[in-house]
Amino acid sequence: MNDTNQKSSRTRNQLLIPLRIIYRYLKSIILNLVHLKDDTDTEGTIEGIKSGIILKGSQLWILVCSTIIACIGLDVNSPAVIIGAMLISPLMSPILGIGLASGINDRRTLASALSNFGIAMGLSLLVSFLYFKVTPFGELTAEMQARTAPTILDAFVAVFGGLAGIIAGSRTNKSNAIPGVAIATALMPPLCTAGFGLSNGLWEVFGGAFYLFFINTVLISLSTYLIVRLLRFPFVSPKAEEQSALTKRIIYFFIFLLLIPSFYFLYNTLTQATRNKIITDFIQRCIHEDVQNAVQWTYQMENDSTARLKVYYFGQYINKDSVTVLENSLIDQFASVPLLKYNLPAYIEFNLIPTDAPPDEEKEKMNAAIIELQKRMGSFAAQQEQEMQQLEEEVSLAQLEADSLLQRLTFVIGDTLQFDQISAEAQALFPELGYFSLGKTRGTHFGVERSIQVVAVISWKKELRNTTTKRDLQKRLQAWLAMKTGTEQVDVFTD
């Protein structure tokens, strides 16, 4: 029994020998292809990265020029200009220095790299802030918007771009991968976009763009750290080697916290892309097959439960009953996609607008209608202003007529005397009076003067014959009438 087992074991081992040979051969080929250590220039890489950390003099001027070029490219929406700015930007050097210093636990180099990186970042923000304060354009372009909502995919770009950069930089024979890494990781454009948001008070733009810049920076540093440890770069001291485990845990925890918002942005991006694809396919299948040229549409959430889909299409009219069916059908399609279940409106309101012209011509018609409406509004405003002026003139004329009427009324009122009371008092004060009449008259010197005066006509009793006494009584009567009527122009005539 034992002999049988030993024979079967020897037979199995003999069969495995060719497989082991093949495995070792393939392994040697693969390792020969992917190895990194053979042509690694450890000392040259460390010295090269350390020498590029400090940004001063010409490096700072290059940074300023790169920032201005990136701002111009973003401002005029030119990818070619933005790529040129990324190629000459010296921001990569202190970021690689942060990763290297963390990998070999060199605190002095880490402090230098962080301080120079902070200076470079602050200078770039300041230059971009000032540029967007004085630029004659200053609009949020598509190139800027593309850098305000980073996702986990942007994080992957930063990681693999950083890996390519440190691998290329650590070789004995340097390759030309560094310019490509500078373009792929895109450090300067998001930083300048953050400066645009800061300059215009658009805090969402600032936050999204600066977050993209920050995760690119951190993940490039992380890539550098991983390659430095993979290639076993020497620590600066034995004590630093003992502290590397703690440094590694801190780095990984910080990276985890940093990447959480990128998953949220990725979810929103995937949700929007999925929804747009469903709507496009739905329009192509149910409304018009030529979505690209004959149909334009917009989708917008009105509130938490209602969305509005507005479709401009070139084709046959769709009746209201069919629209209701389409609304329910689209909601069912949204509900069938797991990604859209958590952002599903309870109701989708369709606005299907048929047009006899392609979308571009329809836009021109709408713009012409808006211009015509503006003209009519301007003409209406001018007419209203003219009518207002005419009304003011009529009010002024009415005011003049009212003043004239008031003057006549004042005269009529002022021409009335309380004769009964005055005559009774006159009889009591002057019992010598035999006849008494009183009235107001108006007099003029023909344009020179117009006045109102009081005229009294009296006669004395016959027994009053003394002329001096009559004269004195008449003066007293005149003075009393002036006081009683409130006017100095009183004439007394004797009948």
Residue 176: per-residue pLDDT: 56
Q: Does residue 107 carry a pLDDT above 50?
A: yes
Strands 433-444 and 450-460: antiparallel
Residue 293, token pair as written in the block:
């040229």
**Distance (Å, whole) CA 118 – CA 112:** 10
Backbone angles phi, psi at 455, to 5 degrees: -120, 130
pTM over 0.85, yes/no: no
Q: What is the pLDDT of residues 293-314, one digit of tens each?
A: 667 777 777 776 777 777 776 6
Q: What is the pLDDT of residues 227-276, one digit of tens each?
A: 888 888 887 776 655 566 666 677 777 777 777 777 777 677 778 778 88
* Residue predicted with more confidence, 284 or 209: 209
Burial class of residue 280, CB neighbours in 10 A (0-12, 13-18, 19+): middle
Residue 364: per-residue pLDDT: 60
Which CATH number among 3.30.420, 1.10.510, 1.20.1440, 3.30.300 corresponds to the domain 271-361?
A: 3.30.300
Residue 109, token pair as written in the block:
């180099």
Q: Element (H or E) spanning 337, and its range?
A: none
Task: For the chain, give every domain's residue range.
Answer: 42-236, 271-361, 419-494
- CATH topology (fold) of 419-494: Alpha-Beta Plaits (3.30.70)
Give the type of residue at 321. D
Residue 455: per-residue pLDDT: 81
Q: What is the DSSP letter of 466?
A: -
Distances (CA, A) of 357 to 148, 285, 313, 362: 36, 21, 9, 6
Residue 131: per-residue pLDDT: 93
Q: Does residue 474 carry a pLDDT above 50?
A: yes
Strands 450-460 and 490-494: parallel
Q: What is the pLDDT of residues 131-144, one digit of tens each?
A: 999 988 878 888 89
DSSP string of 152-189? Answer: HHHHHHHHHHHHHHHHHHTBSS--SHHHHHHHHH--HH
**Distance (Å, whole) CA 227 – CA 233:** 9
* Residue predicted with more confidence, 355 or 162: 162
Q: How many helices (H) and strands (E) does the chain have?
A: 16, 6
Q: 3-state DSSP call for residue 297? A: strand
Contact 197, 241 (CB under 8 A): no
Q: Element (H or E) spanning 448, and its range?
A: none
Give the type of residue at 398. A
Residue 381: per-residue pLDDT: 72
Q: What is the pLDDT of residues 43-80, one digit of tens each?
A: 877 888 888 888 888 888 999 999 999 999 998 988 88
Mean pLDDT of 363-369: 61
